[in-house]
Amino acid sequence: MKTKAAVAFGAGQPLKVMEVDLAEPQAGEVLVEIKATGICHTDAFTLSGDDPEGAFPAILGHEGAGIVRAVGEGVTSVTVGDHVIPLYTPECRECDFCLHPKTNLCQSIRETQGKGVMPDGTSRFSIDGKPLLHYMGCSTFANHTVLPEIAVAKIRKDAPFDKVCYIGCGVTTGVGAVAFDAKVEPGSNVVIFGLGGIGLNVIQGAKMVGADKIIGIDINPSKVELAKEYGMTDFINPKEVDDVVASIIDKTGGGADYSFECIGNVNTMRQALECCHKGWGESWIIGVAGAGQEISTRPFQLVTGRSWRGSAFGGARGRTDVPKIVDWYMEGKIRIDELITHTMPLEDINKAFDLMHEGKSIRSVVLF
Ligand code: NAD
Ligand code: DAO
Ligand code: ZN
Ligand code: ZN
């Protein structure tokens, strides 16, 4: 079939909106009509050329929601007409990783997904007979895409696509890091570095689980209003204090029970660890640092009981947990609407990247 897509032909080039060819789903695969997709920093990172795994030409996008329009042979967990969210972290429920209680990083299709192809080693997208690569196993910057069955979460049909697409990455990453990975206890003091599309979701996750102090750190004070609406109780602008770590230790009476780094900066990662409470404070890295960068601290920080952890896709097992997060949104336990600051048709997708780079959006969503 033909479908409309925004194609990334090379690093640093704007996406080109055009018709592409899409082959039908093979065994174990599903064809999904994408109704809405968010534009995330990771898409921009890959498009910039800084992503070591980035390859072109490709159809980017990994934060979508849509409807199953066809299924390949042997597909049993979804059917035509089901509403789904694509998963860049699949859940096969069979691999060693899925069977281990401590991780959500299903590895069953990791190798082919990283190469931009389907599990059989080929692409479903092409132009004039030349293959186009998939991206993060999702390629949601296309009106239709093909995904492995294990990489879609079936969601309730009354959830609005233009909002729940954000659960495909940002919401789950932030809320899940608190609820599934760190398992923050009620009454905890939580510190969030970076109040963007991820950090605001950590804030609302912390509020949802009953955290006490929720302290936000950002160099951009324009983030404060929305962060307070989402549950932030205190704010520190590192530009306005001499020592951000000392300020946090002072405000929390000894240090954070949990900190989350949602920037991707190795210096703030160190601050996030060192502001944690001696004896038990846990620091969770969510931000993705530039290729080749390294973190450092004095090992005595760890000897004295702080721990340094990392979280991918909020620790969520996609097919199991994403439908739950959609329910949390529909039941009013978490919010999304205010975070979607811009919507646009696919033809304007390059504007979404501009808004992101200018720091003017939290999330832009393309509506098909
Ligand atoms: P964003 O740009 O929307 O937010 C970053 C915030 O950090 C901004 O508000 C900015 O003002 C602030 N900031 C920048 N430098 C700062 C500094 N030195 N001190 C304090 N604040 C500073 O980005 P986002 O969409 O929220 O993404 C955050 C990070 O999370 C990115 O690195 C992204 O790649 C990563 N991410 C990780 C996962 C995962 O599963 N681990 C998933 C998605 C995104
Ligand atoms: O299993 O090695 C692996 C792949 C893990 C992917 C986790 C991705 C999380 C961070 C990237 C940002 C996502 C938008
Ligand atoms: Zn993302
Ligand atoms: Zn698996």
Q: Whose C-alpha lies nearest to ligand 1, atom 2? A: 196
What predicted TM-score, i.e. pTM, was given to this entire model? 0.98
Q: Whose C-alpha lies nearest to ligand 1, atom 4? A: 196
Interface confidence, given as ipTM, is 0.97
Counting residues of the chain whose pLDDT is more than 70, the rounded percentage is 100
Q: Relative to the alpha carbon of 39, which ligand is closest?
A: 3
The torsion angles phi and psi of 54, rounded to 5 degrees, stand at -65, 135
* Ligand 1 center–CA 22 separation, angstroms: 34
The first and second tokens of residue 105, run together, are: 């990083």
Residue 52: pLDDT band (50, 70, 90) is confident
* Ligand 3 center–CA 43 separation, angstroms: 7
Q: pLDDT tens digit string along 152-182?
A: 999 999 999 999 999 999 999 999 999 999 9
Please give the full DSSP string across 225-241, using - where no structure is assigned.
HHHHHTT--EEE-GGGS
Q: Whose C-alpha lies nearest to ligand 1, atom 25? A: 197
Q: How far is CA 348 from CA 113, 258, 364, 365, in A?
A: 27, 39, 11, 10
Q: Relative to the alpha carbon of 169, which ligand is closest?
A: 3
On the CB side of 339, CA atoms within 13 Å amount to: 31
Using an 8 Å Cβ cutoff, are 95 and 107 in contact? yes
* Ligand 2 center–CA 312 separation, angstroms: 6
For the chain, domain boundaries: 2-168+336-367, 174-312
The first and second tokens of residue 185, run together, are: 């206890």
Is the distance from the beta carbon of residue 105 to the nearest atom of ligand 2 less than 6 Å? yes
For the domain bounded by 174-312, which CATH number is listed? Answer: 3.40.50.720
Using an 8 Å Cβ cutoff, are 138 and 90 in contact? no
Is the distance from the beta carbon of residue 41 to the nearest atom of ligand 2 less than 6 Å? no
174-312: same fold as 2-168+336-367? no
For the domain bounded by 2-168+336-367, which CATH number is listed? Answer: 3.90.180.10
Q: pLDDT tens digit string along 277-306?
A: 999 999 999 999 988 999 999 999 999 999
* Three-state SS at 155: strand
